[in-house]
Structure formats: structure tokens, C-alpha cells
Chains A and B, each alone.
Chain A
Amino acid sequence: MKPETISTIEVIITSVIRFWPVWAALAVSLTSGYFIRERLGTFGRLYGSPVGLAGLAIVLFWVFTALFADVIAVLGPLEQSFTGGMKKAPIGTIDSESGILFLWGADNLARDIFSRVVYGSRIVLIIAPAATLIAYMVGSTLGLPAGYYTGWIDTAMSFLANLVLAFPVILLFYLLVTPEVRIPTMYNFGLFEVPWSIPIGMAALFFLFPIIFLCLMWWTKYEKAPQKLMIRGGTTLVIGLWLYVGLVFQSPIAPLSLDPNELNVFAAVVLGSSPGVFRIVRGLTMDIKTRDYVAAAQTRGERPWYIMLWEILPNARGPLIVDFCLRIGYTTILLGTLGFFGLGLQPESPDWGSMINHGRSFVRLTSTIHLALFPALALMTLVLGLNLLADGLREESLKD
């Protein structure tokens, strides 16, 4: 029996309706943002640039989709339909047994593509910004001294950055995620066991940087106020290390832990994007350190790290915010690339890259193109939104 389908126009209308929580949230946030735009700084001025605002709206669309995924999605990301003929079901098919509408069709395992794309936004919108943030911490912690001191520190660090940049990203990924490299060996330290592999080692190094970065910030700011320093530094260290042992070493005492696959992806993506951050931070530092307020701080006898973190970095925030938006997009593309080659998360995970990878073998037949088309469009719109937003922000900040 051929399953019942609905027409293309109905599919489009239903798609729009299904995202209703997102539209509501978008309307609320954008209108309320309009009324307090004066207080929002650069983001408030986006209301003056249609392109930037469109970018913001697209990004927010996916953010809200990720937030309300449970409401929007009809089925779970891994739920299969066992009705006959539902495998690779075309767009707008109605499951004859459960009566559920498979709006964007079903994949080769009869899972609802709509729900998977919606749930996939969660994964993408957590990993991409988080990895970019860590890459930023790594890049700034290394780029600030390189640009500030120059000399041999700069030469050495730039060499390292160029080393990573000269390496084809794809090859790097392939090398990092082959099972022989990534399967951890356990090292027993008497009291506890520590898993170790090259990606875990890399993650151990990279995840250290946020802690170092924050501690340096508190130390330079509150050096003369030991009480504040103790409180802030202490909290950072305790929470940071607590998260650290969980994220890197899968310690059971920590609140969060990462699956080994996710850890690999994180390590690979951070490694791939931190040299870029390093370069831009270094360049900005070299530019800003010639300013008068830096000279003033130097004359006051401030520590170099105070000047770097509290004088140079805040004044570099304009270009850095723009670059951050662009870089999230780039990280999303990288994640997709990993997924495309099947190197990323678990194969069944609904992240867009993996979905594209699964669907691409079916793209050659007109009847099954939807398997890869929808995740591809989702990924493209998110990156497009981020790029438009970055462009709008850049233009608005240039107006100063």
C-alpha cells in the first residue's frame, strides 16, 4: 500500500506552523530588543542595518529551535517507524499506522528527518560556540604575549601556529580520529585510573587554557585585594578543575562528562581554529599596544599581563566579536566536514554533518534527495545567519 502524502504547499505551511514557538520567541525578543536598543551597544545598532538584522534573526531562529526542540520535534531523534514503506519515505508522508506526519520525509532507517534536523540544531549550537570559545581562550592567552612582547616568544608561537595552519585540516582530522590513535589506554596511578590518548592529551591541554585565562584575569585585577582574589580565583579553580576532570578524563565525580567521540571532535576543532584566533589577537595586540593608554599604564608600572588583559583585550573587542561570529560559522562548517567524512560524533547522532554524510549516497536519485537536502539547508542557513550578523556588526562598528 502506498502511504498517503500531502502536497508541497501543505508541507511548506505545516513547516512554518510547526516552528510556532520559535516565531513567538523571535517576535518577543526582536521587538523588546528594539525598545532597549539604545542600551544594547553595537548589537542595538543592528536595527539600523537590514542585513545584520536578518542575520541576527536567522541565528536566533536556530537558537530558539535548539531551545524549544522538545516542543517542535514530533518524534525523538532516534525513533524509527516500523510501518512498511516508511523507509526513505518522500516529503510529507503520513505514517499510516501511527498517523504521524513525516513532514520532511523519513531517512533510510525510517526516522523523521524534521525531528532529527530540529534536534541536530542542539548539538551544533552547543559544540560550535563552545569549541570556538575555547579556541578563543587558547588563541588569546597565546596571542596576547606574542603580540605584546614580540621577539623570540612571538617567533616561536607564530611558528607553532603556522605549523598547524600549514597542515591540511582534513588530514589532521583523519589522523586524530583513526581508532588506533583515539582509543584511550588506561594508566593506573594507584588511587585512580587516567585514560590517555593523543586527543585526550590535546583536550587536556586546551581545556586548561580557560582556567589559566580566568585565573590570570583575576590575579592581575585583584592582586592588591587578596580577599576578592581568593574568592574569585578560588571559585574559578574549584569549578574549573571540577569540570576539567569530568570533561577531559571522564571522572565520575564531575557534573558534566563528554563522550570520547565528542572529546575528539572538540580537540580537533579547537586545534584547527585556535591558530586563526592567535593570529588575529596577535595582530590586534601589536596595533593597540602603541596607543597612549597602554603607554600610560606602562608608566603607572602595571604588570604586562594586566595591560594585556585589562587594557588591550577590552579595546580589541570590536573586531574580536565580529571574528567570533564568523568563526562560529567556520567551526560549524568544520563540524559538518567531520560529520561528512564520518569522523565526527556517533554515526546515529542527528547532527547535521552526520545526516548529510548518511544522505549523500541517496542524493543521486530524485526521490531520495531530501535525506541530505534538509540538514544541508539547515547548516547553510545557520552559517549564513552568522556571516550576515558578523557583516552587520562590522559595518556598524566601522561607523564609529
Chain B
Amino acid sequence: MFMFILKRLGTMILTILVLTLIVFYMVNLPGNLEKIAKTEGNMRMTDEQVAAWLDKEGYNRPFFTRYGEWVVGTVQGDMGFSRTARKPVSEVIGQRLGLTGLLMFWVMIVMVPGALIIGVLAGMREGSRLDRGLSVASITSTSAPEYVTGIIFTVVFASLFRGFEKELSWWPEGFYLNGSAATAASKGITFYNFALPVMTMAIYGMGYIARMTRASMAEVMTSQYIRTARLKGLSFRTVVLKHALRNALIAPFTVIMLQFPWLLTGVVIVETMFNYKGFGWSLVQAAGNNDIDLLLAISWVAVIVVLLTQLISDIGYAYLNPRIRVK
């Protein structure tokens, strides 16, 4: 097990290095650098002036020297300076990650139990009417990406709660996190400004986890030991709750962990849509404003999150399922 984790960690570090190298290369293409020089200096710089500026800022040194410097700096916690936020990147990233973490926390709280309950109820009696209904519902939820559910929810809530409009002058302001509340995050998070983003994100992932749980539950329900338990005279409820559930929840565990990369895309969409100034929102901003250092930091943080969840899911799977101990 120890060797396995060590090997996985090695692959992980290699992956991070290769991916950051690619990002580093792409954000440092000559066109990008020229644009930075012009936004930092002035728009009417001549080519010589641009070259001089790049020389002065050290952008013209050999590519791998600069990449090496960036890696060393990042490892030491110095990720450079965000040109849009006018703050060190580490500060920006920390703040944004905190906000997104809060959102993710609520998404998980809503999504995971909901999905597991739906999955278990559907898989408990395969082929029953309840199963069919819940399955179609979960397929529907996986077919509606965040930007669709977001719009539909907004439309539904806008017409249902027309009353809010008067009360809160212009209801979306009250219903979403508006700009200032989100950046400060000190005005508190209320049900009104958090419900829609959380629901929008939770619904998309929920169907997927529910379907995995259903498949795994249905498989367990047909196994021999469940039949034995039933024949022994245990009630259906005891069989489901005490015997089936434990084994049926191993597979969804991995799926939940592997949802993170997917949620990451969802975070970007939802944060852009609801103007929630978290990690995903900064990604869009950094990419749009050519903020090299911030973009690099965001990419490696995102990659690490994805890889760590994969690692945890693998280890957890092996730990939970004694039959699949890694050699």
C-alpha cells in the first residue's frame, strides 16, 4: 500500500509538472507577452519599446530558466503578482478558494445525501415503478448542464416569487450574491443568495451519483448473501439497511470523489452566472485579462485538486473494499 501511494504521488508530481509546463508555454506565447507589455506600459509602444520592457521585466530569458524559477517560487509559496487584482497571487488564490470552498461545502451537503437516498430507493427494487420514476428523474438531471438549470431555476423562481421583486426592489439582487457581498463575503451568506447557485450545481451531479448508487445497489440486491438474509426471514428493511447498504455504497464513494473535476467546471459556470467571486470566477477573469501569474496558479491548484481527489478515491476504494487491495 505504501509503495502504491508513493508511486501514485510520483505520477502526480510528473503530471503537475507537465501540465504546468504546457500552461506556462501557452500563456507565454509572444502575442500574450506583447499584450501584457502594452497594457502595463502604454498602448502605443513601438516594437523596440516592447522588447525593452520585456527585457527589463525578465520575460526574454530562456524559457526553461523562467519555468524553473516559477516552479521554485511556487514551491516556496511565492506565486508572483496578479496584475488585475494588484495583489500577490497567493493572497488572491487563498481568498477565492475559501469562497469556492464554502460553495462546494453546501453543494456536497445537498448533493451527496440526496443522491444516495435516490439511488438506494431506486436500486432497492429494480424495475419497480419507483425505480423507473427515479431513474428518469436522474437522467433528466444529468441532461441539464449548469447553464441550463441555472436559467430554468431563475425563470421558475422569478415567476413563482414575483413578490420578492417588490420586497427586495429587484429580486435577483437579493436572491443571488451580488457583487459586493460576494467579494467581501462578510455580509454573510443567506438562504436567498445561496440557494440558487447551490441547487444549480447540486442537481447536475446528483443524477450521476444517484445512477451509480442505483446500479451498485441493484447489483448487491441480486447477490447471494442478500438472498440468504431474505430467506433467513429478515425483513426487507433490515436487509436493505444493515446488509445491502454497506456494500452498495463503496462504488458511489469513488464516484463522488471523481465528481470533483466535473464540479470544477460547474463552479466556473455557476460562479460566472451568479457573479459569485470565487475560484471559477477568477479563472474567467484571469484568462480574459491575460493575468499570467494568476492563471498559472489557478491551473496548478485546479490540477492538484483533481489529482488529489483521484488519489483519495483510489486509496479509499482499496480501503473500503478488502477484495481489491492493490498489490
Contact = CB atoms under 8 A, between A and B. Distances in A.
Interface of A: 51, 159, 162-163, 165-171, 174-175, 178-181, 183, 198, 329, 333, 336-337, 340-341, 356, 359-360, 363-364, 366, 369, 372-373, 376-377, 379-380, 383-384, 386-388, 391
Nearest to A339: B147
B261 A380 contact: no
13 contacts: A51-B132, A162-B15, A163-B15, A167-B19, A175-B287, A336-B145, A336-B147, A360-B150, A363-B151, A373-B152, A379-B145, A383-B143, A387-B143
Contacts of B155: 363, 369, 373
B158 A380 contact: no
Nearest to B26: A175
Contact of B143 (A159, A198, A340, A380): A380
Nearest to B28: A180
B257 to A, nearest CB: 14
Task: Please indicate which of the listed interface residues A162, A170, A175 has the most CB atoms of chain B within 10 Å of its own CB.
Answer: A170
Contact of B273 (A166, A360, A387): A360
Contacts of A159: 11, 14-15
Interface stretch (B52-60, B110-118, B300-308): B300-308
B299 interface: yes
B135 interface: yes
Given A364-B170, A369-B154, 12 more contacts: A162-B11, A163-B19, A166-B19, A168-B261, A168-B265, A171-B295, A178-B32, A178-B287, A333-B145, A356-B147, A360-B150, A364-B158
The B contact surface, by secondary structure, is helix
B80 interface: no
Q: Which 8 A-B pairs have the closest CB atoms?
A: A180-B31, A384-B143, A174-B287, A383-B143, A364-B172, A376-B148, A180-B32, A333-B145
Interface string B124-166: 0000000010011001101111011011101100110010010
A369 B153 CA distance: 11
B18 interface: yes
Nearest to B304: A166
Nearest to A162: B15
Given A198-B26, A380-B148, A51 B15 contact: no
B325 interface: no
Contacts, number: 135
B265 A51 contact: no
A163 B18 contact: yes
Contacts of A175: 23, 26-27, 287
| Range, interface on chain B | 35 or more
Contacts of B245: none
Interface of B: 11, 14-15, 18-19, 23, 26-27, 29-32, 35, 132, 135-136, 139-140, 142-145, 147-148, 150-152, 154-155, 158-159, 162, 165, 170, 172, 261, 264-265, 268-269, 272-273, 280, 283-284, 287, 290, 295, 298-299, 302-303, 306-307, 310
Nearest to B301: A168
A386 B261 CA distance: 23
A360 B268 CA distance: 15
A94 B30 CA distance: 52
A198 B31 CA distance: 13
Task: Please indicate which of the listed interface residues A171, A337, A383, A391 has the most CB atoms of chain B within 10 Å of its own CB.
Answer: A171
A322 to B, nearest CB: 13
A155 B112 CA distance: 33
A180 B136 contact: no
A171 B172 CA distance: 28
Given A163-B15, A171-B283, A363 B132 contact: no
Contact of A373 (B151, B283, B284, B298): B151
Given A168-B261, A383-B144, A179 B31 contact: yes
B29 A181 contact: yes
A362 to B, nearest CB: 10
A329 B141 CA distance: 13
Contacts of B280: 170
B15 A376 contact: no
A123 B265 CA distance: 23
